[in-house]
Amino acid sequence: MKIKFYGTRGSIPVCDTGFQEFGGNTTCLQVTFENDQILILDAGSGIRNLGKDLIQNGHEQFEDIFIAFTHFHWDHIQGFPFFAPAFDPRRHFTITALGKNREIQNLKEIFENQMEWVYFPVALDNMGATFKFHHPESETLQLNSATITAKLHEHPGQAYSYRIEENDKILVFSTDVEHSNGIDERIIKVAQDADILIHDAQYTDEELVNRKGWGHSSWQQAVEVAERANVKYLILTHHDPEHNDEFLTKVEKEAQAHFPNCHFAREREEIIL
């Protein structure tokens, strides 16, 4: 299993000087399985570069590339209209909202609405690629050699963590998580014994005091999850747009002092699990 970060920033992209070491694009992650099957998690602005890489690398998987969404807040879907492979009529994508009790009436409509003519010049149905919209009342998807499970966690408007298992290796992606009344035990359960946990760490504990209800975690909470869930390695992501490289480097060292097997996610970083 190979993991590549294409978007690590939270809330809104940033392009300012001093904000680029950790990345300025919003959330997008590519997971590649042993048979070269690709799973894309979220379509923040980082998916633009992901699409460019697929084309430049001559990627020839044209059938059933899955794009799975943790939720549909703007910073997790805003890159989709700029995902170049979606304009290739040879390609077939499955867009999925895996997980029980999702409060979604029409998955396709979410993407149609953001591409109405007042917002974007190309309608969804005119992009070129074939799209299947997969919204099962299910927590689990078998994607060739990988088992993917989605679990609800606390976030305004709902959001879901993904646990991905292949060949006895476990990756967990838990972004946009709020632990409002102590650590959310559902996150402990979904992250149990993970080889890698990628966890929201937009704030510090001090910042959280004035950000209750905003839907995000502190790095201290992410460390507590990793410790209690027996996680082997922790990667902290969804960096606040106000946190520059100097700030993130300082806080990364603080986090490593508490949990040595961790670091802050960096855009374009690749990890083989």
The pLDDT tens digits of the residues spanning 164-216 come to 999 999 999 999 999 998 999 999 999 999 999 999 999 999 999 999 999 99
Contacts of 104 (CB under 8 A, 6+ apart): 72, 97, 110, 135
Of 41-50, 58-67, 168-177, 227-236, the least confident = 58-67
Mean pLDDT over residues 121-128, rounded? 96
Q: What is the pLDDT of residue 57?
A: 87
Q: Where are the domains of the chain?
A: 2-272
Q: How far apart are CA 202 and CA 135, in angstroms?
A: 29
Q: What is the pLDDT of residue 62?
A: 65
Q: Into which CATH architecture does domain 2-272 fall?
A: 4-Layer Sandwich (3.60)
Q: What is the pLDDT of residue 61?
A: 67
Q: What is the pLDDT of residue 36?
A: 86
Cβ burial of 272 (10 Å; 0-12, 13-18, 19+) is exposed
Q: Residue 59 pLDDT > 80, yes or no? A: no
Q: Residue 87 pLDDT > 70, yes or no? A: yes
Q: Which residues pair with 65 in a beta bridge?
A: 93
Q: How far apart are CA 194 and CA 253, in angstroms?
A: 22
Q: Which residue has the tokens 């679990």?
A: 151
Higher pLDDT, 136 or 251: 251
Q: Residue 63 pLDDT > 80, yes or no? A: no
In single-letter form, the type of residue at position 29 comes to L
For residue 149, give Cα distances in angstroms to 166, 179, 197, 237.
12, 21, 14, 20
Phi, psi of 243 (to 5 degrees): -95, 110
The pLDDT tens digits of the residues spanning 152-166 come to 999 999 999 999 999
Q: Which residues of 24-56 are buried (b: 16+ CB within 10 A; e: fewer)?
A: bbbbbbbbbbeeebbbbbbbbbbbbbbbebbee
Average pLDDT score over the chain? 95
Of 83-87, 143-147, 268-272, the least confident = 143-147
